Structure 1
Amino acid sequence: MLLSRLFFRGISSSVKVCESQFFKRLIPVDEYCERQAKLVNLIVNHVKKNNFSYSNVGSLIVVSGAKRMYTADTRIPTIHFKQNSDFLYLTGLNTKEAAHTVLIILGPDAKSKLFQSFLFVPFSSQLQLIWEGEGLKDGHYQSHLSQISHVVEDISKLPQFLKSHSDRPIFMCRAGLELIPPTISGHKAGMDQDTPIKPLDGYKTFDLSPFIDRLRLFKSPNEVNAMRRTCTIGAEAVNATRIWSQTQLESNKKNYGIQGVSENQIAAEFEFAARSAGAVKPSYPPVVAGGPRTTIIHYGANDKLVYPNEWILMDAGCEDIEGYISDITRCWPILASESNSKNRISQALYEALCEVHQQIVVYLENRALETSLNDLYHLMCHLLGSVLSEFNLCPSGDQAALLADHFCPHHVSHYLGLDVHDTPTVNRDINLEPGMCFTIEPGLYFRKGDSRIKEEFEGIGLRVEDNYIINANGKPENLTAGVSQIFSS
């Protein structure tokens, strides 16, 4: 069915034949245990360095799985489940079956030099088994559970477990801890609506986020392969979507009697192409904006038509089976005419923006290990200032660079990994190092009604975004090089 649909729609000529590696796990199970050990060591060293009064009793790390979300007032799960990235990083359990589970890691103490991990799993009633399956009891998850020291299939025991270790400093991830199992909430086990409970109220807790972000910032060789995979899939899906969008006008006119291409159609085409090539789901709700809506940075409604001579800005990415994310933005016209003045301006601006992007990359290639993301931001503002001057949108010099911040109100880069805006506690002032993954995304947005711009520029929004990693040689590698920056109509 899938192969025939691919052939019928012509996607097979745009998306490369899927290799089996696109559908398999790339992170070995023992790497998750290594990550737990590294996290414990960071905490142990922190406790010793800061002379905690309880340095002899060991620490306790608490990381909860994400909540399972339901549609409206039903028990029907929402279409996409997003696992808590910290929990995923430490367990590899990228599945809704691990919702509401809690990972506890007991650090070494005076009695033992080894750490122990515990996974507390909500009790499943017979009714839940019928409606939702076996959960983590399914043999598919046994390899990942094998790296957990103890699996406790009764989460109601968690509060007593925490109480028995109340002398330890507790380090919690940024997601906090909100359990919703029926066995704790007081409801009968089954399909009843559950009530949240926070069993760590009253305990002395510390923020785990800076420690785990420090680990997640530097991608292991296996993580680099996962990032290459998800970025390759995303890049090919963008290419396929662009080709499809530029050939869909005639089909829409013939079949539906409309003169444009729907933003929603384009968003659906990207998701279809990405998932057909091995992605699990989109990284985030895609932005597919046409015409003047391209100036709305987080548009997302995707419910309008894009007409001939209008440009599309698509900000989209995908997530692979391991949970790693791509984040790509491209712009292109729909059946553009060279005689259309707005199209000519958009094309010239977009080419200038691509040149800005390239100049940032060249700068990075020469001094990556001496450069921070904030350095790249200041460079982008300087380069965008030159573009604004070139198009007579403002005077040259320092004023132009300052005005660039007005026309591009977002940063040029953010870290990337298991989250779109990864490792948020890590400052963008630090120099880049091998293993760091990030975006480069200069943009220009000329909103209607802005008195600072000429009328012919109003309603033009453009951005070009690629994903990079600093390789072992200290050089930037473009993970999304497979997607062209400049497209013809």
Structure 2
Amino acid sequence: MSEQITPEAATDAQPLESRGENRSQRPSSAAFRSFITSGWGERPDLRPQPGPAAPFAALRRARLSAQFPGVRLVVPAGGFKVRSNDTDYRFRPHTAFAHLTGLGTEQEPDAVLVLHPDETAPDEGSGHTAVLYLRPLAGRDTEEFYSDSRYGEFWVGARPTLDDVAALTGLRTAHLDTLRDDLAKDVGPDGVQLVVVPDADAAVEAVVEEIRAAQDAGQDDTRLAEALSELRLIKDDHEIEQMRVAVDLTVAGFAKIVRDLPVAVEHPRGERVIEGTFGAHARLEGNAVGYETIAAAGEHATTLHWTQNDGPVRSGDLVLVDAGVEADSLYTADVTRTLPVDGTFTEVQRRVYTAVLDAADAAFAVAVPGSRFRDVHAAAMEVIATRLAEWGLLPGTAEESLDPEGQWHRRWMVHGTSHHLGLDVHDCAQARREMYLDAVLEPGMVFTIEPGLYFKSDDLAVPEEYRGIGVRIEDDVLVTADGNENLSAALPRRADDVEQWMATILGD
């Protein structure tokens, strides 16, 4: 007797990974396949012009090439990241990939840039030939066209062709299917070494590891990660232009925040009103926000990375807004302003705000060529420690607090004063210490200056009048040949200027 299969058993027999298809009612008949893949007109030839970043990206690749003679460099764009079940976050390429190709926004998931060692490379000044491997547009006679919800044209729009991407970037292009064989060519202990950007694409890393293991060609990828971060420490002209775009868009977004403060006060989750106002502006005018917006009112401003943004915005309080627009090129601003909800600082709020502003001004004074990056923070801390001592909040003198064995003032500012800024909000993060913290400042560096003071509402070490006040002022600074430029200077900083600016917007 044959065994009967119950409905329960039939369900259990379905592989778990395929059960997401249970909601699908996509037809699969031969008649349907024939009909949906026929009767389409010719696509228009929309061959793009070379992107404005293309010549700069070529120079960046040449600089990287010089550091790795004879080494094959693998720089993946990365793939989609799952948001929930079978839905993904909006795609953003890996920063190093964007920097070396000039591609931004949501272009080319799964693509891989490879710099093949080649002493006869056509790229001027480079010892490598750069090839961009990607998954190109599938024909309308393929199943991918209509059935692939991740890559199919019917689902996500037409992908560019190999020729399209070559025209846009100036790079050679190749089908992703050829990547594995091309990576393995001549790899070995006495041949080509193979390195890959770590943590960019697990699937590509696995292929690289398999090739290296088969050829006994072990290689440390750390140096490549360092070099890619350090390549961005000094911005070129195109990068500086894009930083200006991102900052200008951000300044406009802050004005919209002020305009909507009365709405925020009326809403039980007014912080979300602020976040939503800025987020909509960033998405309309740029690619998105460069990081999760901090909209911290009242006591929430004493939490450094408050992104829950679910609290009320109350009259009489301060609201700390830390936000940046990411331009379509993926360069982001990072600006903070602490605003009086009613448009006017109280006496204590102004006292704290002015101390933070003075600390920022001291940092700007040393953010010049020849100083070290660490000097910017030290200058701000001198002011912070001095003010806290003047207010009687330190258990000793400012000098004792500034000593490495003291540091009492850091109770109220535990973060650093500056970080590099660019394609990442915390850019160049894998650079070596001697190239970052201990580095001498050079023209073309872009970083933040963002001192703050944060007095929590239950902090018994400060008088009650300070409790619940958090202030941070953050600007984006470009080091120039003869000093620096505050890229975000169009956004008022001084207390009187902030009040006047807010009054103008609110019509008071």
Name the stretch that deviates more: 291-300 or 382-391. Answer: 382-391
User: 2:449 aligns to what?
Assistant: 440
Q: 1:67 aligns with which of 72, 76, 79?
A: 79
Name the stretch that deviates more: 390-399 or 410-419. Answer: 390-399
Q: What's the CA shift for 1:268?
A: 1.1
Q: 2:281 aligns with which of 255, 258, 273?
A: 273
- Work out the CA distance in 2 between the residues paired with 1:25 and 1:309: 53
Q: 1:231 aligns with which of 247, 258, 264?
A: 247
Change (3 A) 1:376 1:437: same
Matched, 1:154 2:162: no
Matched, 1:420 2:425: yes
Q: 1:222 aligns with which of 230, 233, 238?
A: 238
Change (3 A) 1:477 1:236: same
User: 2:400 aligns to what?
Assistant: 399
Name the stretch that deviates more: 446-455 or 414-423. Answer: 446-455
User: Retained in 2: the 8 A contact 1:262–1:306?
Assistant: yes
Q: What is the TM-score when the length of structure 1 is the normalising length? A: 0.79
Please show how residues 37-186 of structure 1 align to structure 2 within 5 Å.
37-44=62-69, 58-74=70-86, 76-78=87-89, 80-109=90-119, 114-122=127-135, 125-126=144-145, 127=147, 128-137=152-161, 141-145=165-169, 147-149=170-172, 151-155=173-177, 157-166=178-187, 167-179=191-203
- Higher RCO (CA < 8 A, seq sep 6+): 1
Q: What's the CA shift for 1:321?
A: 1.5
SS at match of 1:422: coil
- Work out the CA distance in 2 between the residues paired with 1:36 and 1:337: 51
Q: What's the CA shift for 1:165?
A: 3.1
Change (3 A) 1:481 1:393: same
Change (3 A) 1:319 1:336: closer
Q: What's the CA shift for 1:96?
A: 2.8
Q: What's the CA shift for 1:334?
A: 1.3
The structure with more radius of gyration: 2
User: Retained in 2: the 8 A contact 1:26–1:322?
Assistant: no
- Work out the CA distance in 2 between the residues paired with 1:41 and 1:337: 55
User: Retained in 1: the 8 A contact 2:77–2:200?
Assistant: no
User: 1:408 aligns to what?
Assistant: 413
SS at match of 1:71: strand
User: Retained in 1: the 8 A contact 2:98–2:104?
Assistant: yes
Give the letter for the 2:65 counterpart: V
Give the letter for the 1:398 counterpart: E
Matched, 1:323 2:344: no
For residues 166-197 of structure 1, give each alpha carbon's deviation from its aligned partner in whole angstroms, at most 9, with x where no partner exists: 131223224344238xxxxxxxxxxxxxxx95
User: Retained in 2: the 8 A contact 1:261–1:307?
Assistant: no
- Work out the CA distance in 2 between the residues paired with 1:435 and 1:25: 25
- Work out the CA distance in 2 between the residues paired with 1:72 and 1:385: 46
User: Retained in 1: the 8 A contact 2:332–2:424?
Assistant: yes
RMSD of aligned C-alpha atoms? 2.6
User: Retained in 1: the 8 A contact 2:363–2:377?
Assistant: no
Q: What's the CA shift for 1:261?
A: 6.3
- Work out the CA distance in 1 between the residues paired with 2:419 and 2:121: 43
SS at match of 1:462: strand
Matched, 1:362 2:362: no
For residues 412-443 of structure 1, give each alpha carbon's deviation from its aligned partner in whole angstroms, at most 9, with x where no partner exists: 00111111111121421111001111100001
- Work out the CA distance in 2 between the residues paired with 1:29 and 1:204: 33
User: Retained in 2: the 8 A contact 1:172–1:205?
Assistant: no
User: 1:240 aligns to what?
Assistant: 256
SS at match of 1:321: coil
- Work out the CA distance in 2 between the residues paired with 1:40 and 1:279: 32
SS at match of 1:120: strand
Structure 2, unmatched stretches of 5+, are: 1-48, 139-143, 503-508
User: Retained in 2: the 8 A contact 1:239–1:484?
Assistant: no
User: 2:378 aligns to what?
Assistant: 378
SS at match of 2:110: coil
Give the letter for the 1:106 counterpart: H
Q: What's the CA shift for 1:137?
A: 2.3
SS at match of 2:203: coil
Change (3 A) 1:27 1:408: farther
User: 2:57 aligns to what?
Assistant: 32
SS at match of 1:415: coil
Q: What is the TM-score when the length of structure 2 is the normalising length? A: 0.76
User: 2:219 aligns to what?
Assistant: 205
% identity of equivalent residues: 23
Give the letter for the 1:148 counterpart: L
